[in-house]
Amino acid sequence: MPSVAVKLYSVFFKFMLKHRLQNRIQIDDTNGPNNGTSFGITSRPNEESIAASNPLFTDGVATKDLHVDPATSVSIRIFLPETCLGSPDLDSKSRVRVSTRPGSGSDPNQALILRRNSYGYCTTDSVIENQTNYNKNGFNHRRNSYGCNVVDDLGLKSENGVYRGYNPAGKKNCRKLPVMLQFHGGGFVSGSNDSAANDLFCRRIAKLCDVIVLAVGYRLAPENRYPAAFEDGLKVLHWLAKQANLAECSKSSVGSRRGGEGGGGGGGADLRKSDAYGHIADAFGASLVEPWLAAHGDPSRCVLLGVSCGGNIADYVARKAVEEGKLLDPVKVVAQVLMYPFFIGSVPTHSEIKLANSYFYDKALCTLAWKLFLPEGEFDLDHPAANPLIPGRGPPLKWMPPTLIVVAEHDWMRDRAIAYSEELRKVNVDAPVLEYKDAVHEFATLDMLLKTPQAQACAEDIAIWVKKYISLRGHEFSY
């Protein structure tokens, strides 16, 4: 059973949440159906602490905030792990030394470090080799949170350590990392992508999975009801595809200009031609390329991760990605992770009956949240946004990407999430379920539970599974 502290905090949490939801229902009824605007809001700072963005790699991850849509309040927070600064060439040399260096087992601790090289650990010889490269080429080393020397051989940091990012005219050997879109929880009516709890969780995932995390700040209800939050998730996926294409356009433009400069007698004509191409590229927004993603993002390895109601959004975005197919190129959704998704239905499951008054988010409070989120006059627990098992939801489940579902033992939503995974497995989609004993809803993402061993173990389990689908060397990670 959950600890006494968890039980007491749950009582306080549910009391405050019920008070807030009832106040929003009253305000919504007073203002009428058109109380919201298309711009909307993505956070309620008076309800939770906010973590400021930090472009320094102080704990191994740098962050920045972007507003991605001028018509709405949709924003993202980028979490960039410091491992992106490692040169791919030096990484491969380190791996070779790990496998061929004789006598590496003389020190057990040293041997352990050598085996963990994939997380950024460096061998003694590789450190010496990197120091030699520093003497020859002026490479700059700095210590990262994993305990190894990360090589900034691209010169992309300013004097105060702020990461500058990408220059298309610079070197092309930046390390590419998969991209993960993360959708926070909060019952569609609260939470934010820049809250202290979500910031800590995304930093943990970015380091463990070695990915660039884009935490999406979608519009909240009741100011913006369904389908606003779902459309915002898809909008960020489209924005990612646009960024990838603009970055490639910018690279091509710079490459053609540099080729024209060194092209001999015909260089003048080539240069004029490349300049014209560059103006066309800028007209399409190549100058607005996000530098961190352009330098280090690999959108062909895109993962969706949704927490609670964010799981509903992630599942919607995955379905739309399947329907759009190559229209999203070069973005490819290779997997999704649904953490205790916010599913419900009109016919109650066993857990919805037995655990209706469970911890933190009980069924009555969640029903209130659905009333605030679904369009007025369309409240239905079998709405396609709420129930993943209704027929005709589309597309066919067999086309869905591999889906990892995380559930908690003391969560009334667990059975419907498990049933969804069973339906996916029936059509041969890889859809395992991770169930955590004595756990409650949001046990791995709630502020007071984030630093528990169970929350850390959950993040590590997610990383193990995700790496099956984002690894460039095959499925060497498995259960």
475 catalytic, yes or no?
no
Place of tokens 């003048």: 268
Q: How large is the C-alpha radius of gyration of the chain?
A: 24
Q: Region of 44 please: left (phi>0), alpha (psi -120 to 50) or beta.
A: beta
Are 116 and 83 in contact by the 8 Å Cβ rule? The answer is no
Beta-carbon contacts of residue 189 (< 8 Å; ≥ 6 apart): 20, 21, 24, 220, 221, 222, 369, 372, 373
- Token pair, residue 138, equals 């002026």
What CA–CA distances, in Å, run from 438 to 6, 358, 412, 421?
11, 12, 13, 21
441 is catalytic: yes
75, 104, 195, 308: the catalytic one is 308
Do 427 and 454 touch, CB atoms closer than 8 A?
no
296, 362, 441, 461: the active-site residue:
441
Catalytic pick among 28, 210, 411, 461: 411
Measured at the CA of 146, the angle between CA 143 and CA 204, to 5 degrees, comes to 120
User: Do 175 and 118 form a contact (C-beta atoms < 8 A)?
Assistant: no
Coil, strand or helix at 434: strand
Is residue 270 part of the annotated active site? The answer reads no
Instruction: Indicate the Cα dihedral angle 406, 410, 412, 414, nearest 10°.
Output: 20
Strand order across the 333-339 sheet: 61-67, 75-81, 212-217, 177-183, 297-307, 333-339, 403-410, 433-440
Question: How many C-beta neighbours within 10 Å does residue 64 have?
Answer: 18
Task: Give the closest residue to 196 by CA, choosing from 454, 451, 447, 453.
Answer: 447
Active site residue ranges = 308, 411, 441
